[in-house]
Structures are given as C-alpha cells and as structure tokens.
Amino acid sequence: MPKINLDKERVLKLTGNKIGDEELRKTLGFLGTDVESITKNEIEVEIFPNRPDLLSEEGLGRALKSFTGKEKGLKKYSARKSDYKVIIEKSVGSVRPHTACAVVKGLKLDEKKMEDIIEIQEKLHVTYGRNRKKCAIGVYPSENIDFPVSYKALPVEKIVFRPLDSKKEMGASQILKFHDKGKEYAHLLKGKKHYPLFVDGKGSIMSMPPIINSEETGKINKKTKDVFVECSGHDFRVLSKALNMVVTALSDMGGSVYEVELVNENRKTPELIPEEMYLDKEYAESLIGRSFSDNEIIGSLERMGFGASKKGKSFKVLIPCYRTDILHQADLVEDVAIGFGYNNVGEENERPETPGKEDFREELKEKIREIISGHGLVEARNYNLSNKDFQEKYFGRGRIVGIKNYLSEEYNSLRYNILVSLLKALKVNKHHDYPQSFFELGKVFSKDSSEESGVKEEEALGVVFCGVNANFNLAKQHLDSIFSLLGLKYELVEGKDVFMIKGRCGVVKFKGRNIGFLGEISPGVLVDYDLDVPVSGFEIVLDDLFGEF
C-alpha cells in the first residue's frame, strides 16, 4: 500500500480545522487510512488501494474537511467550455488507444505546489495506474503548446526529441535504452513498431507516453500558470477517473478547469458530473446491523463526501467524480458505516448456536502425534518447499512439482516426501548429542493430471532415528506400536526404496495397497545430507487410513 508524506499545515488549512496531533491520528484512522507518524510538520500516512483520490494533500484535506463536518456533502467541480481539441488518430489504436485530457488555468505554482503535482502524478502511476501500464499521466505548461494537439503513433525510427532531463535530442529507441525513465518503462512498449506521441499544432513532440515528456514543451516550472493534463492508456473509464483525481486536486489548488474535446471520440473531458446510485435503506440497516434515521444515513454519506437525498424507501446518492471504488450498494453501506463511525456502530451479541467440529483427518493426525510423542520422539515442522534437483535425483523427473518463479534454488519445488525434510532436520542438529529421533506430519506433493490443480496432495507421516543403534528393527517396533494403538494392521513385505539400503527395506502395505516404506537409510543418502551417523526410519501416507474409522 502506498505511503505518502504530507505537509501537515497545508492539510489542516485545506481542512479548515485546528486539530491536535492525537485527534488527527484518530480521525484519519477512522476515516480509513493507516497513520504511520505525525510530526511537527508532516503527516506520514498509508492510503488503501481503493482510495487513490486520497493520495494528495488536496484529496486528503477534502476528505477530512467533510469527515469532520466542516463542509459536508458533494463538493461540486465543473469544467468550463473551451475550444481546446485533442485529435486522436487511428494510429494509436493498437498501441495505447485512449486518452482523457483537460486544461487547468490560473494556477499560482510555487516550488511546493510543483512538487505536489509531480508527487500526485507519481503516486497515481504506482497505484491506480499499475506502474503506468493502465494509466500514465502527463502534465505540460499549456503556454508552450499550440492547439489542436494530436495523439498519434509514429514508427519508432521516426521519433526524435529531447526527453526531460536530457541535454540533447534522442531517438525513441535510444531513449528506451539509455534514459532512466526509458529503461524503467521500456517493457510497456516492448514489441511495438509504433510508439504513441502527443504532438502539438506546430508539430513539436510534447511527450512519448507512457515513458517521458519532452524537455522543451513538457516541463512545468514555477512560472507556469496554465497546464495541459493528459492521461493515456487502454481503458477510457480508468483514464477519465485518473484525470478527475488530478484536476480536482488542481482545482483545489486554485486552478480553473477547462474541458478538452477529444476529436474522433465524440466526447469532452474531464467528465466531472457525479454518478448516481440508489441505496436501499433496509439493505444498509441489515448489513450494518442497526436502524438509522434518514438523517443519520444522509449525514453519514455527506461526511464521506457524497451527495444524498431521500427517494421513496431509498436514497439517491451522488458519487464524487474522483471516487473509483463504488461498484455496489455494499460500497455505499461501508461509507455509511465509516461516516457514522465504526465505533458508534453497536455490538450485537446474539448469535446462532452451532456445534464445533474438528476435521476428522486433523483429529486422527492429533492421535498419531500423541502416540509418537509418547514414544519419546520430537516433532519437527519443516517448510513444504524443497530443492528440485535433489528430489529429482532420487525420485526422478516428472513427479516433482516445481515452482515457476522461485527466489531461491533451495526452495524451488514442493516436497515429494517427508524424509527429505527430516534428514535436513538431522543435518541441522549435528552439533547436538545422539541419539536423536524426529517425526513430522505434513503434506507431500506430486504431479497428477487428474486433480483440478494438477497437484496431488497427501497427508504423510515420516519418522527418523539417528544414532549408533538406529536400525531396521527400531523403526519396525515403532510402526508396529502405531498401528496397534490405532487398531489397524499393516504388512511389511520385502521391497526397495531409493532412500534405503538394499535388503534392509520393507514396503508398508495396508489393505493390499503400498502406503510407504521402512528401513535403514542408504549411506549415499547420508553423505548427501552430510550425516556421519546411521539413520533408520519410515514414511507412510495416511490418506488410506482416514477411511478406516
């Protein structure tokens, strides 16, 4: 979740309140943010991903202002009519097809405000824009731009301009190779033969979204009063919302918003008109679990910045143009609850009586744990992830479930049996006295195309004894005891296992099915685990046993 550092004084000024630090922390918390710290000058706060509109001093200030009751209800934003045009050419269709644009005039920028604009842009890029993939935002001094602006794509080799922070002109592919931003976002244009551009009426390149603006026409400074803002991407609705978040913040900075006609798309942006949604009172009351007066619901919604009025049994709710998270009435209900105060929603203690029930498999595993720990063994708990090469060496290819995007070779597959983990536990304990004995109950994994996930998961029990007297008989005594106490019978027949010494290994059979093996671990395996003391043990899959009770 994105963290932002905000100027405390500015936020409080926007809020129109004098709030002490303790109160501010609490208020921000109950508004729906995570306060990291509040210092003399700064508020560090984490914004939840559903509220990108709070990622600026203006946005958070606006929300606080209505939440504290200073100015409740829908804040009206509007765009003035204008002749500004952006021509969307067909050529962008296959690269980055959409844009939403606006002009904001009369900003009195200073160092601080300039930084703020860049900060809003960056935070939206990272969060709502999914690192510029869904949405990239550009801000330009509109004084330098001749309208109409064209949004078009040109062949890569034909694009040459001076990108921000560069001393000279560069070709598009050079920018992607050498410019910092180019390198960072090159993957977003990978494989494209045409790159998108904003070009002004004079034909000068303003920017190459989603990578970088031009140094000459795309850099705002302290003297900038009027700006042109564009958002580009693949889904117009996303862009329109992002644009709204930016221009409402600029409007709160003192700017006047002007609309831009998107030629060929037959629309004008920004679209600052609030959407409507109806909230059913009964639904709200049942979901929150208490009854409300109409005014309580309207007041709560207004504290959250909505417009609200009663219509029959429902409320007509006007959703601010910068909100992106209202998909369902349930979203309005949450805002009612937040506006009313989570603390003020009562606590209902009447609940249906239902019997508690443990999963039987877990219960049986508990019993087995009891038996074996009674034998004096210590339980190990290992990771289910294990090294693939090692497992394939013993169990062959095709059975081991590998992880595609592992971080460490040591943990790049799921374990095929428990002994691989238990032997590792013995290795870890080499510095302690012998004898040592461990058991583990856990899952083992193998490829199986008949499973929905393609992975078969079974519950297994592994046991190891390590010490000079660790032998076949010791292992068998323990297995005997377990089966006897479970009231079940097994059969041990001569067999082989990759982990075991030939001739000192038995296959464990239950009702005619092989469920595991028992024996003395072969010296080769011990060497692989760097062990110099004999080990015996067994491993059985429990799934067949569960059905016996």
Partner 1 sequence: MKDIVGQLTGLERKILPLLVKQDFEALELARKTGLQEVEVLRAGQWLQNKGLVVIEREEEEIVVLDRNGKEYVEKGLPEKRFLRALNEGATTVSQVLKKGVSKEEINICIGILRKKNAVIATKEKELSFTITEEGKKILKQKSLEEKLLEKKFPLKEKDLKAEETHAVKELLKRKNILKKDKKKTFTLKATDKTKKSKELKKELSQEYEEKLTKEMLRTGSWKGKEFRAYDVKSHVPRIYPGRKHFVTEATEYIKKIWLELGFEEMTGGEAQSAFWDMDALFVPQDHPAREMQDTFYLEGKAKLPKKYLEKVKAAHETGGDTGSKGWQYKFSEEISSQVMLRTHTTVLSALTLSNLKKEDLPKKYFTVGKVYRNEALDWKHLFEFHQVEGIVVDPEGSLAKLKGYLKEFFLKMGYTDVRIRPAYFPYTEPSAEVEAYNPKKKEWVELAGAGIFRPEVTKPLLGFECPVLAWGMGMERIITAYYDIKDLREIYKNDLEQIRNAKMFIKK
∠ CA 496-497-499, rounded to 5°: 140
What residues between 108 and 147 interact with partner 1 by CB under 8 A?
130, 133-134
Which of 19, 186, 345, 488: binder of partner 1 (CB under 8 A)?
A: 345
**Contact between 316 and partner 1 per CB under 8 A:** no
Instruction: Closer to partner 1 by CB, 51 or 181: give it.
Output: 51
Q: Which helix or strand (DSSP H or E) is residue 84 part of?
A: none
**Contact between 292 and partner 1 per CB under 8 A:** no
Q: Can you tell me which residue has the tokens 């609850």?
A: 337
Q: What would the x/- binding string for partner 1 be over residues 255 to 284, using CB under 8 A?
A: ------------------------------
Q: At its nearest, how many Å lie between partner 1 and the CB of residue 328?
A: 4
**Contact between 399 and partner 1 per CB under 8 A:** no
Instruction: Closer to partner 1 by CB, 46 or 491: give it.
Output: 46
Q: At its nearest, how many Å lie between partner 1 and the CB of residue 404?
A: 4
**Contact between 334 and partner 1 per CB under 8 A:** yes
Q: Kindly report the three-state secondary structure assignment for every residue of 147-171.
A: CCEEEEEEEHHHCEECECCCCCCEE
**Contact between 356 and partner 1 per CB under 8 A:** yes
Instruction: Closer to partner 1 by CB, 257 or 317: give it.
Output: 317
Q: At its nearest, how many Å lie between partner 1 and the CB of residue 355?
A: 6
CA 206, 207, 208, 210 torsion-angle sign: negative
**Contact between 524 and partner 1 per CB under 8 A:** no
Instruction: Closer to partner 1 by CB, 198 or 236: give it.
Output: 236
Residues 86, 91, 92, 95, Cα dihedral to 10°:
-170
Query: For partner 1, which stretch binds (CB under 8 A), given 247-255, 325-333, 494-502, 520-528?
Result: 325-333
Q: What would the x/- binding string for partner 1 be over residues 416 to 455, using CB under 8 A?
A: --------xx--xx--x---xxx----x-x-x----xxxx
Q: Which helix or strand (DSSP H or E) is residue 50 part of?
A: none
Which of 69, 374, 396, 523: binder of partner 1 (CB under 8 A)?
A: 374
What is the distance, to the nearest Å, from the Cα of residue 279 to the centroid of all Cα atoms in its chain?
29
Q: How far apart are CA 405 and CA 129, in angstroms?
A: 24
**Contact between 401 and partner 1 per CB under 8 A:** yes
**Contact between 531 and partner 1 per CB under 8 A:** no
Which of 111, 348, 494, 532: binder of partner 1 (CB under 8 A)?
A: 348
Residues 200, 206, 210, 215, Cα dihedral to 10°:
180
Instruction: Closer to partner 1 by CB, 348 or 494: give it.
Output: 348
Query: For partner 1, which stretch binds (CB under 8 A), given 197-205, 215-223, 241-249, 400-408?
Result: 400-408
What residues between 454 and 473 interact with partner 1 by CB under 8 A?
454-455, 457
**Contact between 289 and partner 1 per CB under 8 A:** yes
What residues between 19 and 58 interact with partner 1 by CB under 8 A?
29-32, 34, 48-51
What one-character DSSP code corresponds to residue 92? G
Are 542 and 527 in contact by the 8 Å Cβ rule? The answer is no
**Contact between 383 and partner 1 per CB under 8 A:** yes
**Contact between 349 and partner 1 per CB under 8 A:** yes
What one-character DSSP code corresponds to residue 26? H
**Nearest-CA neighbor of 323 among 26, 123, 72, 63?**
63
What residues between 228 and 247 interact with partner 1 by CB under 8 A?
235, 237
Q: How far apart are CA 221 and CA 406, in angstroms?
A: 45
Query: What are the structure tokens assigned to 493, written together?
Result: 């027949």
Q: At its nearest, how many Å lie between partner 1 and the CB of residue 57?
A: 20
Helix axes 236-252, 111-126, angle to 10 degrees: 160
Q: At its nearest, how many Å lie between partner 1 and the CB of residue 317?
A: 14
Q: How many CB atoms lie within 10 A of CB 285?
A: 15
What lies within 8 Å, CB to CB, of 171 at 6+ separation is: 156, 157, 159, 160
Q: At its nearest, how many Å lie between partner 1 and the CB of residue 253?
A: 27
Instruction: Closer to partner 1 by CB, 110 or 451: give it.
Output: 451
What residues between 146 and 205 interact with partner 1 by CB under 8 A?
none
Give CA separation, 317 vs 74, 299, 302, 305, in Å.
10, 12, 9, 10
What lies within 8 Å, CB to CB, of 479 at 6+ separation is: 463, 490, 492, 508, 518, 538, 540
Instruction: Closer to partner 1 by CB, 237 or 496: give it.
Output: 237
Q: At its nearest, how many Å lie between partner 1 and the CB of residue 436?
A: 6
Q: How far apart are CA 117 and CA 221, in angstroms?
A: 11
